[in-house]
A and B are shown apart, each in its own frame.
Chain A
Amino acid sequence: MVNKRYIARRLALMVLSIFVVITILFFLFRQVPGGPMSAFTNPRMSQAARQAIIEQYGLNDPLWRQYLRYMVNVVQLDFGQSFYYGSSVSSLIFDRFVNTMSLMLTAFVISYTVGTYLGAQLGWLRGTTKERAGMVVVLFVRSMPVFWTGMVVLYVFSFQLGLFPIGGMRGTGASYTTMAEKFLSTDFLYHVALPVFTLCTYYTGLPLLLMRNNLLEVLSESYIDTARAKGLTSRRVLFVHAARNAILPVVTAFAIAIGFAVGGQVLIETVYSWPGLGREMVQASLRSDYPVAQAAFALLSVIVITMNFVADIAYTYLDPRVSLGES
């Protein structure tokens, strides 16, 4: 079946992308001044001790062999040991990954619900002063650098009003034993509120504009006029007929936007001290903890690549107009 062939092709591209990204990373990090282990060996170390480390990490092997070993390890999800934490990178990164996703997905669901709704409203109001004013606001909010929004939100809600904590993911007293406990507690909600709000101001723009534009297109199509002619109320036309058709591209944009959102995530995690992948990557880079930086980046890339894949596949299933054979 063509369908299967397309998916297989797309899957192959995804694997290739991940492979290339990890390769680029490997060679980039070999360019670090002093070599990737510079932070880890020091001149006062005895010759034997230094030799032991060099051997342990195989730094004397030819580059291609180091590369092969790295790839073999990565396939087994082994990213080595963190220089900074001294523990395995994989378990560390997984923990941060969960934190990142908990924040990002919450913000996404809210943004896309609100954005789609507001976009439909704006599209419906086309040509009015209200719509123009609304568009200016939307454009302005969308132009704000997300880290700055975060600072302003913190200034207002934490520093001036004292309503929310200044950062972090949990209170000082909180300690949890299970994942569910961690993410369903009021303490978590209290900490997640401001970062989610900030991310929403950043994410809402895209679905909103898409929804509005699609709606404008759909509204110009003939069957809407037919629906109107049948005497349906305008609100019913909007939500039952027009919006239902306009929402399709927004759904696929959801997945693509997750990819782009990763950058914003890095910033917001820094502003709110959120212990996620992005912040870990920034800190690992600043600490010269290259194994962690490398793994965090790889995982961020994998999120993007996977989401692009999901978006493409979803699109082919959701939109009957896309023929699956060609590409």
Chain B
Amino acid sequence: MRKMGAAGAAIGSVTIAGCSGEQTTTTDGGGGSGGGDGSDARVVEEDLPEERMMDDVIHLAYTEQYNPGRYQANRLVDQRLTDEMGIPTVTDPVEATVVSSREQAGEYDMVTYRWTANNGEPDSIIVTRFASDGSENWTGFSSEEYDEIAYEQRQETDREARQELVRQAQDIIGEQRPENQFLFNEYYYAFRSDRFEEDSVVVTDTGLRNIWNYTQIEPKNEEGNTIVTNNWDPSDQLNPLNANAIGPSRNWVPTRFMHDMLIRTGPELEAQPWAATEWEWEDDTTVTFQLREGMTFHDGEPVTASDVVWTYQMMLDKEPPAYLNNVVQVVDSVEQDGDYTVTFTLEEPYVPFIKTTAGIVPILPEHYWTQLMEETGTTEQPWRISITDDRPVVGSGPFQWGTWDQGSRFEMPSFDDHFMAPNIDMRVQRPLSTTDAEYEALLNGDYDLLDFWFGDTEQLAGAVEENDFLSSVETLGTGRQSAWVNCQRPPFDHVPMRQAFNAVVNDSQQTIINEAFDGFGQEAHTFINPSLSFWHNEDTTFFDGGIEGATTILADAGYVWDSDGNIHYPEGMTGK
């Protein structure tokens, strides 16, 4: 285990070192895991009607193989709910793609993963995740009071006033608890320092897999010219119009690397010129971009204002679900003036426009996409076109489509005609099926760097320390690992249940950080990471008091327990 700095707090510093001769003890000594069979706050009644008994609570989870730490954390929380709260909770581990589809279909009670918008823009969470009509509001959370603040903050041009609104939004979510943070992870990334100039490596909130790093990293030798990394195969979708191509990182990496956007979020989360060299707000709802001249798509055709206009206009017409909140709801019209000037008119002021719209929407080649849509006969829902080697992505980004051996390997050669042409020749996403295999591959030189690491962080850190040819970087990122609950069905359609759940999670945070994540993380109580210090609300409401506190919340709301310790709904509620 590893000692944490400032935020890690005191309890985080227990060590396992030199434990060979140590005798072990059982449950009672449990690190932060409260007491035995529930608290005194319980209200116990006899002869409770069957229909008030709580059904199994389904915790939709990633598999242990996918992310052992996350699975451990889930098991810990679920066991505590079951054993100490009498809430029958079942961990239901499924494959990654099933998690998203079941989450989107509302077939779960809680679901746990890590999520971040990667652009430092709170709007991408506040509206997208929790507004009633947020495009990724899978919890079904709905509150008029909240919606009002959520939409007000995106129009508030005064930075301080907007900060206040963003903090209020966090507090409402904190009080209502559709989301319950496990921790803010600290991420550890390793790379082969014998192959790259160390000071050319750029670390951002997403670690090493960011366009700045991949365009600037300087190989020292032939081996560094092709970067082979462990990012997942982009298996499910590479169609840039599909939500899956811009959501999960296995897919957004290729999407963002092969396309250009008007601007890009820089390493410090600031807006940086990209396809647009400059932009100017004419008033609160009109913004004009100047395009860079001389850019071409990978097939040699020039990138012009008409491609930009076509892309946005097509989104306004076809309404791809992935771009609902940041394009369809926001943009009123888009017009070109000559080949290199584009002007957007917004429906109403939308402050985060530069980052969340101009920084996310890929510029698509009109000539190629109209042809694709025609050939496949998919003119109404172009996000359904499946992208393969026969129908590859054609963009204008620093990397281009190479070959995709589905399920095992995706190659992107660099695009030499790009204004930010990479120093390397190619990037290869080549996942191995186990973390041990990936660890070995980094040590024996098959991998040049690890795009992410879900394995044992201590083990990796140990290897970096032992071997001169490895270096590492750490980052807190901008995300958080949380359990979202389904607010549209029992038991979590009832706010006290969510608050009680939050109390149990908070009580488990230290154990989660220390045991499941080897000490690499910080306690978390809100959805905005402290690395976004301007927006982060450190006074967000959360619930504590552990099992005792959780039980009190539930007892106050009328929940009762039978003599076997099973929780029952308050009178008048059945959970059906």
Chain A residues near B (Cβ < 8 Å): 34, 38-45, 49, 52, 81, 84-87, 92, 159, 165-168, 170-173, 175, 273, 275, 283, 286-289
CB distance from B231 to the nearest CB of A (A): 12
Chain B residues near A38: list those with CB within 8 A: 105
Say yes or no: is B205 at the interface (Cβ < 8 Å to chain A). Answer: no
Asked whether, in the complex, the Cβ of A172 is within 8 Å of the Cβ of B432, the reply is yes
Contact of A273 among B101, B107, B433 (CB under 8 A): B433
Chain B residues near A167: list those with CB within 8 A: 432-434, 437
CB-defined interface of B68-108 with A at 8 Å, one 1/0 digit per residue?
00000000000000000000000000111110011011110
Report how many residues on chain B are interfacial, defined by Cβ distance under 8 Å.
39
Chain A residues near B433: list those with CB within 8 A: 167-168, 273
Say yes or no: is B259 at the interface (Cβ < 8 Å to chain A). Answer: no
- Excluding A166-B432, A273-B434, 20 further A-B contacts by CB distance (< 8 Å) are A39-B98, A41-B105, A42-B101, A42-B104, A85-B236, A85-B407, A86-B387, A159-B436, A165-B437, A166-B437, A167-B433, A167-B437, A172-B446, A175-B411, A273-B432, A273-B433, A275-B407, A283-B95, A287-B95, A288-B95
Say yes or no: is B386 at the interface (Cβ < 8 Å to chain A). Answer: yes
Can you list 20 pairs linking A and B with CB atoms under 8 Å apart? Answer: A38-B105, A39-B101, A39-B105, A40-B101, A42-B101, A43-B104, A84-B97, A84-B236, A85-B236, A92-B406, A165-B440, A166-B440, A167-B434, A172-B441, A173-B446, A175-B403, A273-B432, A275-B407, A275-B408, A287-B96
Asked whether, in the complex, the Cβ of A166 is within 8 Å of the Cβ of B237, the reply is no
Residues of chain B in range 377-427 having any CB-CB distance to chain A below 8 Å: 381, 386-388, 403, 405-409, 411
Contact of A173 among B228, B381, B388, B403 (CB under 8 A): B228
Asked whether, in the complex, the Cβ of B386 is within 8 Å of the Cβ of A168, the reply is no
How far, in whole Å, are A40 and B100 apart by their CA atoms in the complex? 11
Chain A residues near B104: list those with CB within 8 A: 42-44
Asked whether, in the complex, the Cβ of B235 is within 8 Å of the Cβ of A166, the reply is no
Instruction: Give the tally of cross-chain contacts (CB within 8 A).
Output: 87
Say yes or no: is B484 at the interface (Cβ < 8 Å to chain A). Answer: no
Chain B residues near A (Cβ < 8 Å): 63, 94-98, 101-102, 104-107, 228, 235-237, 321, 381, 386-388, 403, 405-409, 411, 428, 430, 432-434, 436-437, 440-441, 446-447
Chain A residues near B434: list those with CB within 8 A: 166-167, 273
How far, in whole Å, are A49 and B433 apart by their CA atoms in the complex? 35
Smallest Cβ-Cβ distance to B435: which chain A residue: A166
Smallest Cβ-Cβ distance to A53: which chain B residue: B384
Asked whether, in the complex, the Cβ of A86 is within 8 Å of the Cβ of B446, the reply is no
Chain A residues near B411: list those with CB within 8 A: 175
CB distance from A151 to the nearest CB of B (A): 12
CB distance from B67 to the nearest CB of A (A): 15
Smallest Cβ-Cβ distance to B387: which chain A residue: A86
Chain B residues near A165: list those with CB within 8 A: 437, 440
CB distance from A303 to the nearest CB of B (A): 21
Chain B residues near A166: list those with CB within 8 A: 432, 434, 436-437, 440
How far, in whole Å, are A61 and B551 apart by their CA atoms in the complex? 51
Q: A49-B381, A168-B432 are in contact. Are A288 and B101 (CB under 8 A)?
A: yes
Chain B residues near A52: list those with CB within 8 A: 381
